Amino acid sequence: MNKIGTLSNVDALKMAIQCEMDMKLYYDQAAALIKNDDATAILQGLAEKEEAHRLQLIRKYSSISGKKILYLNLGKKHKLGTLIPCGEDPNEAIRNAKKNETEIRNFFITVSRRMYQSDMRLLFRELALEEEQHIVLLESSFGEPLNLEQGTERKDEGLYREIAEAKNVNTTW
């Protein structure tokens, strides 16, 4: 990875695009691990937000460089080497998503502080705020201790289901 202090606008945008691509893929993989519909919807929503960020960054890249990105094939210097890949354990996937979002937020904050152009500073600050919102969403939606193992349900869900069945009421969860 480049030293952040020496990043050009174009390189910073390329790295940011790669971060967004990596996190979209991460959320898609994590959503496939989890069998809870609400949790899956949250992760798929985050994947969609990452894709929207990627498209926003590509537009900015095109306006600055005059080039179109048809595909992004970056070397190691454009990848944020601290991101953790999605594993097979749903609980660890959520914990690592929080860590990854924190790494990306910190990267965006650092880049924003080192940009000379005010529009680039603003772009990276806004992206850092978006990543902060992702962290808050993950933390509020997936409190510790996590219990996202396949085939398990929370104790209170089972209780609610028993009550609903006893009263012959349909549930929405």
Spatial distance between the Cα atoms of 139 and 167, rounded to a whole number of angstroms: 34
Low-confidence ranges of the chain (pLDDT < 70): 1-6, 70-78, 148-173
In the block, residue with structure tokens 């454009």: 78
Model pLDDT, residue 70: 62
- Tell how far CA 134 is from the center of its chain: 7
Model pLDDT, residue 82: 85
Length of the chain counted residue by residue: 173
| Cβ atoms of 85 and 26 closer than 8 Å | yes
pLDDT digit string, tens, across residues 104-148: 999 999 999 998 888 999 999 999 999 999 999 999 998 877 776
Class (C level, CATH) for 4-147: mainly alpha
* pTM confidence score: 0.78
| Cβ atoms of 91 and 149 closer than 8 Å | yes
Percent of the chain with pLDDT over 90: 54
Phi, psi (deg, nearest 5) at residue 49:
-65, -40
Spatial distance between the Cα atoms of 162 and 168, rounded to a whole number of angstroms: 9
Q: Assign residue 107 a region: left if phi > 0, alpha if psi is -120 to 50, beta otherwise?
A: alpha
Give the mean pLDDT of the chain. Answer: 83
Model pLDDT, residue 20: 94
Q: Would you list the domain boundaries of the chain?
A: 4-147
